[in-house]
Each structure stands twice: as C-alpha cells, then as structure tokens.
A and B are shown apart, each in its own frame.
Chain A
Amino acid sequence: MKILVLNSGSSSVKFQVIETDLERIDKATDLTLAVGQVEKIGMSDSRLKISIPGRKPYQAYSEILEHRAAINWVMNTLTDAEVGILSNVHEIEAVGHRMVHGGEAFASSVQITPEVVHEIEQCSVLAPLHNPPNLSGYYAAHHTLPDVPHVAVFDTAFHQTMPPHSFLYGIPFQLYKKHSLRKYGFHGTSHRYVSFRASQILGQELCDLRLITIHLGNGASVAAIDHGKSIDTSMGFTPLEGLLMGTRTGDMDPAIVPWLMAMEELTLHQVNTMMNKHSGLYGVSGISSDMREIEEARAAGNQRADVAFRMFSYRVRKYIGAYAAAMGGADAVVFTGGIGENSTEVRRLALENMGWMGLEFSEERNLTHQGGEGFISTEESKVKALVVPTNEERTIARDVIRVLEGVMPTFEPPETVW
C-alpha cells in the first residue's frame, strides 16, 4: 500500500511516499519510493525538491503561498508523467501526518476525524509554533485527498507511558492540573523506531528488554525504555530540557531565568530566544551549532569548542547512568540521529569506562563503524551498544498501516488516583 507521509512546518512541507504493509513491517522491507520537500512556502521563490531512488534529483521553483498550493504541487509532481512515480493520485491509499504535540489526549497514533482535529487544536497551546502548521498540512492534504484515511502520529504519544513520579515537576500540583504542565518528551517516533529495530537486531522481544535510546541530532534526547514502555525521557514540557543541543541550553537551574531577566533587563521574548537559539554548542563554543564544525575547531586546539564538546558528551553519559539506575540496569544502549550515527568521539566519551554497568565499549568497532546499523560494544559485553539510523517517516507510514489494520499499540498512561 502506498502511503504519503507529511511533515508540515510553517514554511515547509517534507514528504515521502512509502510502500508498506504488515508483512513488510515484519520483514523490514518497507520501500521508500520518493523523498522530497517544498521550502519557502509563502514566498515568490518557493522550491520543490524530490529525489526518487535510481533517478537524478529534480527541483522546481514557483510561487507557493500556502499549504494547500504546496500539497497540490507535490501531488502534481508525483503524478507527472516525466518526473513522477504515480499514474494518478488514487494510488495514494492513505496519508500519515507528523504532529508534534498530542498532549495528554493522545497515547497512540489515530485516524483523523473532526473530533481528533478539535483535540489537536486544544493541544496547540502547548506547541504554538508546531501544531498549527502541522494542522494546516492536514487541512491541505485532506482537501486534495478527501477520500483516503489520514492518520496523525504524535511526537509525544510514545512517552505517555511515563509514570507520574517521572513526568511531574516539583511545582504546586494545581499548576499541573490547570495548565497540563508536566514532562511530555519528544522524538517519540524516533525512540520507538530505534528501540523496535534494536530488539530485532538483538533477536529479542521488545517487552523483554531494558533499552536506553539516544537521539542526537540538532535537537537531542535520551529515553529509558523499560520492557517496551518509555518510563522517562530527557526532554520535558518543551524540547528545551535535558541534553545540551545545537543552540538549546538543556538542563539548567531555573532560577537563572528570573535572575538574568532582572540583571540584564531582558524581556520574556529575549530570554526565550537566548535559551533556544543562542545557547548550547553554539552559545558555549561561540563557533557553531554544528557538531562537525565543533569537532574540527576542537581538533585545531580551540578550547571553547573542546569544552562545549565535553559538556555535550558528558551529559549524554550522565543520562545513560541515570536511566540505567532508573530501570535497575540496561540490556542495550542505542545511538541514533545525525550526531549519534556519525560522531565516533561523542560515542566514545559517552560509553568508555562503563564496565560498572556491564557495558564493554569496543574502541575498534566504534572507529570502524561506517554508517548503517551495527554494534559498538565488544562481543562479550553483557550490555550491548548499537548504532541504529533513525527513520521517522517509515515509522509514520507503518503507523498508518497499524491504525488502519487495527493493530496500533496504545501507550496508555498508568492509572492515576487524582
């Protein structure tokens, strides 16, 4: 079954066409037929890029002012006799939409109905920059493909299994109740995908494993996946918490915020931008938010690049220790995301001398790992360490199948007494 997967931002729409079904999911033989995106929506020089395996990438420019025009453009390109891959739009049998925030309302992927749309709108207050464009993408796609099912896949849903002692903050309880102010966690589709792949590689059932999955991209988060359920994750109410990131602070003393606002006379907007866009690897090093450039500068002897690099790796290490303790041990540690898949040095600093928890890091495997999936722990290591490239679009396509076939697992929150 051919599925269109959409990730709609405010000025871009990323898309993939994926061929999958229950059998392909089981054998991991899903086929990616096309990958592309529309950029600079709302401008006169919007660009559409598409690459199809085995063909030369294709680009086009046009004035695309809103999402509906963008989706039309995508569909016209996909069905184009020369550059496309579909004979007509009806070949697309379902659409999967990435949604950032499902709040406490969504603990699994769901088929989109008017009620679901209403609920997602309610969650927009929690993700004002992301949910509205995600929904615009849905409205546009629904207009072009009104007769096929549309499925919403949430970044937060997978982490809904966290118990209250993990997701609550130590603030007055009524504030949690009033504003739904709690840890949600993000990157859920990525953590889910790599944990599932890791279990397949290890040849064990996910429900028999304690996994620590580490997604290190421009945003970065760690999750503790205890017998298939996320019980803790480093991102919180927003994606700002946890690890040091490209331009985000990650964990810090919250008292810094009012203190800085007073001493530097910063506005709310300025302090928010400071923490989200001026901090992290970029803010500490003063060089770049890109880990590759940080590693180059560090190799050239730049001390601030070095300390930024060490902070980054140290925090990853600290969370591995914390989550191993939280689960009473771990069976495997899984790295993914651009940095997790490519930085041998970050992996080394995070994993060396972890013998205390039964993890024997293999210097050699780590250095010789060349993309793709593979182990970076020794053959004998009790706790395995792996690299598994993430594939969020594939997870979304698979969820469309699972929802339509009625086999979508829900990540039910634990029973609470309040």
Chain B
Amino acid sequence: MSWELHDVAIMGGGMMGRSIAATVAQEGLNVCVKEVSMEEAETSKAELVRALDHEIARFGITTADKKVILSRIRWVTQYDCAAECDLAIEAIQEDFDLKSQILTELDRRMPRENPIVINTSTLSITELAAKTVHPERILGMHFIYPVSTTRVVEVVRGQVTSDEALEKALNFARLLGKVPIKVFEMPGFVTTRVVLPMVNEAMHIVMEGVAEAAEVDLALKLGYDFRTGPLEWSDRVGLDRVLNWMQHIFHENGEPRFRPCPLLKRLVRAGLVGAKVGQGFFAYDVNRRRLDRLEDDKPGLA
C-alpha cells in the first residue's frame, strides 16, 4: 500500500481539535489546524500551550516534548492545507450543516484515496457522507476528551464507507496509541449511547431529591470504580454539549430514556453549563478544580 501517514489536517482548533492535534503531533506526525480566523487561531494556540503546561505540571510530558509538539503544529485559516494531507479530521461543534460544508470543502481538495474523518458522537456519518462526491472515504471517529489520556476511540462505518478507509482509520488510531472499537453507525454509537441514559438518570435522581449531587457521584465513583462521577463528568464535558447530544439522539430515535432531564435544561438555560463557567452541578475554580468536595471524596490511600 503506497498510502502513508505523515500529515494530518484538523478542521477546528477548539478543545477537541487542539487535543487531537497535540496527540497526533506527539506521535511524530505533522499537523495543520484550520481555524476560521487568525484571531481564533491565536486563541487556539494559546489554549494549547496552556494545556501542555498543565500536563507538564502533572509530569505527563516534559518541556522538550512541548517544544516538539508545538513545532509540528501549524495553524491556518484556509482549507488548502488539506490538499497535502494524508488524512483530515473535522473537529468542530456538533452541527450538521457546518460539518457538511467542511466535508464538501475537504472532499473537493483531497486526493480521493485519503480518508476524511468526522469527529462526532451523535450525527449520521451516512447522511453527512451522502452530500459529498466520494462518500466511501468518509467515516467517523469518536475521540473522547481528554484525548491524550483516554485510550479508546470509536471508529464508525457509514453505510458506504470502504474497507480501505476503515483500515486506514484503524491504523491511524493505533498509531496514536489508541484502542479502536469498530462500530456501525447508529446514534450514540457505543460509549455515548450507554453513558447518556446513565447521566440522565443521575440528574433525575437529583431533581427528585432522592440524593444530593455530590453523594450521587460519590456512590458511583466508589461503588463502580468510576474515575469521575456522572454529574461531575457532565460538568466537565459541558452541560450544554451533553444536552445537545441527548436532544440529537432523542430526536433520532424517540426513546424516552434519552429525553433530557428538565433539571439539565434548566441549568443550561441559566448558563450554569459546568466547569468552564465555574458552576454546573458543582462549583469549580478558574483552573477547573472542583470546590466543596465531600470529606470522603478527598484523595488518599484506601
């Protein structure tokens, strides 16, 4: 096979795009990140530097690693960079029309054997692909934030995705040190489909006054060995995004277990969308560290 992976284009330098870019660059590939404006690009770069510094403070990488990572990423504002890339990933917000528009731009510029990856947890790969000229090279990869430390990635086949494109995406995932889980398209795939009803249920419990939010989280953390409880997890993802996903899936399949909990809607309407604004189910400081943990939820040796 003559196809080799050296250059990756990432559409969108938001939280997910940056995180993927850093992981790709750390594995020795060159990355170009496309943003809508130079201003956005600067912000994206500054946020990435912040995230890398945080990881240095957590001992995950060294200052030398940071230098290497940054040297392999360039930020651009035009789609043209994708023409020289072996693979492209779109990583913008969960918006069908915007994603569709990006796919068209990429499809027009990239050699037809190079895969185009949609990073989505709820949208239909098949439907997005159908609007392009080469739908067989389009597939989904669902990375889970934080990309650098989460080992799993769902690789999603649409109705007409080719075996070649799938194989390339699987190789790409393994190259990043991820474990790929192959799934056929269905709203929510595996991870999102399982986790959303669970967090929704946790929110219902709080709304009904059955238990305090902090206690719900602690029960699941200690009871089922979760690294983070479902409510703090939602806060960290962003309650607005969680609501968005639920609405998508509920709209797709009409299953009542995906009907967003009214409390979730209320918090989002109030702008209390989680860690990034300092308040969701819990309160957070500017470094997104959770405040007011229960005494039993403090780290320590069991």
A residues engaging B (CB < 8 A)? 11, 42-44, 65, 247, 258-259, 262-267, 269-271, 273-274, 277-278
Contacts and interface: CB of A to CB of B under 8 A. Distances in A.
A265 B35 CA distance: 34
A269 B60 contact: yes
A134 to B, nearest CB: 19
B149 A269 contact: yes
A270 B59 contact: yes
A273 B299 contact: no
A269 B149 CA distance: 9
21 contacts: A44-B6, A65-B4, A262-B300, A262-B301, A263-B300, A264-B58, A264-B299, A265-B299, A266-B58, A267-B60, A267-B149, A269-B149, A270-B58, A270-B59, A270-B60, A271-B59, A273-B61, A273-B62, A274-B59, A277-B59, A277-B62
Contact of A258 (B6, B149, B301): B301
Given A42-B28, A266-B58, 18 more contacts: A11-B28, A259-B301, A262-B299, A262-B300, A262-B301, A263-B299, A264-B58, A264-B299, A265-B299, A266-B59, A267-B149, A269-B149, A270-B58, A270-B59, A273-B60, A277-B59, A277-B62, A278-B62
A42 B301 CA distance: 43
Contacts of B4: 65
Interface string B12-37: 00000000000000001000000000
Interface string B259-302: 00000000000000000000000000000000000000001110
Interface string B123-157: 00000000000000000000000000100000000
A274 B299 CA distance: 19
A262 B302 CA distance: 9
A161 to B, nearest CB: 36
Nearest to A247: B62
A273 B62 CA distance: 8
A58 B285 CA distance: 56
Nearest to A259: B301
Contacts of B6: 44
Interface in B48-83: 58-62
A278 B300 contact: no
Contacts of B301: 258-259, 262
A11 B149 CA distance: 23
Contacts of A274: 59
A44 B72 CA distance: 12
Contacts of A11: 28
Residue of B4, B59, B60, B299 contacting most chain A CB atoms (<10 Å)? B59
Nearest to A260: B59
Contacts of A277: 59, 62
Contacts of A271: 59
Contacts of B149: 267, 269
A267 B28 CA distance: 23
A42 B6 CA distance: 9
Contacts of A44: 6
Contacts of A264: 58, 299
Nearest to A42: B28
Which 3 residue pairs are nearest across A and B when measured between Cβ atoms? A274-B59, A270-B60, A270-B59
Contacts of A65: 4
A161 B153 CA distance: 46
Interface in B177-232: none
